[in-house]
Amino acid sequence: MLDDRQQELPPRGYTFGMWLFLAALGMLFAASMVGYTLIRLRLANPPVDSQIVPVPRGQLHPPMLLMLSTALILCSSLTIHAAVSALKRDLLDKFRKGLAATLVLASGFVAVQVPAMIMLLGRHHELSKESNYLFGFAFALILLHALHVLGGLIPLVVIHAKARRRAYDAQHDGPPRSLAYYWHFLDAVWLIMFSMFLLLM
């Protein structure tokens, strides 16, 4: 029976596959955020002859919990980067500790993000009763990001469990490195999305 290391893909296979995956996700998130922006600007300044009730900018106030969740995901990006850097130097104890810290911070992000997103969606719904387009796009964006964060937690737990069995070292770092790329991507998407909400609210 092959051990974890023997089953690994070549390093280039992990990297190429992950970049293709992130490129596809990037287009999905970009299209969703452009859609939200266009709808938000249209609701702020609807055509004179339309029956849309205007929703002026400055009416939506982001929950303060979003600041905390943003700090948590930024810190988790730093800890997973530190973990992979330690793995490249064969500092396996630091690698495992970095993964454990990332898991705690990522779980904290989800725990804080859920009530914050519910509050944000409630505010969108209150101000867009005449048109559910804004609420629909906000809901889609929030759900899309949340599902990908949850999706990232699963391989994070698996890789952390394998790391405890010493399945990775400097020559066998494909899965942790790919996960770090994915996590940095989620971090960047959230920062862009959060900035978008702040600017357009």
pLDDT one-digit tens code per residue, 38-92 = 888 887 777 776 666 666 676 667 778 888 989 999 999 999 999 999 999 999 9
- The listed range with the strongest mean pLDDT (101-105, 110-114, 124-128, 150-154) is 101-105
- How high is the pLDDT of residue 26? 92
d(CA 84, CA 92): 10
CA distance 8 to 173: 9
pTM summary value: 0.81
Average pLDDT for residues 164-180, to the nearest whole number? Answer: 87
Q: What's the whole-number average pLDDT of the chain?
A: 82
pLDDT of residue 7: 46
- Taking only the tens place, the pLDDT of each residue in 22-38 is 899 999 899 888 888 88
Structure token digits, residue 168: 């990775």
In the prediction, which pLDDT does 82 show? Answer: 96
- CB contact at 8 A, 43 and 134: yes
Domain 11-200 CATH (choose: 3.40.50.720, 1.20.120.80, 3.30.70.270, 3.10.180.10): 1.20.120.80
Give the end-to-end CA distance of the chain in Å, rounded to a whole number.
56
- CB-CB contact of 83 with 94 (8 Å): yes
The predicted model gives 104-118 an average pLDDT of 88
So what's the pLDDT on residue 54? 65
**pLDDT of 5 higher than 60:** no
With contact defined as beta carbons under 8 Å apart, do 158 and 77 qualify? no
- Please state, for a pLDDT cut of 70, what percent of the chain lies above it: 80
Contact 105, 70 (CB under 8 A): no
pLDDT at 100: 95
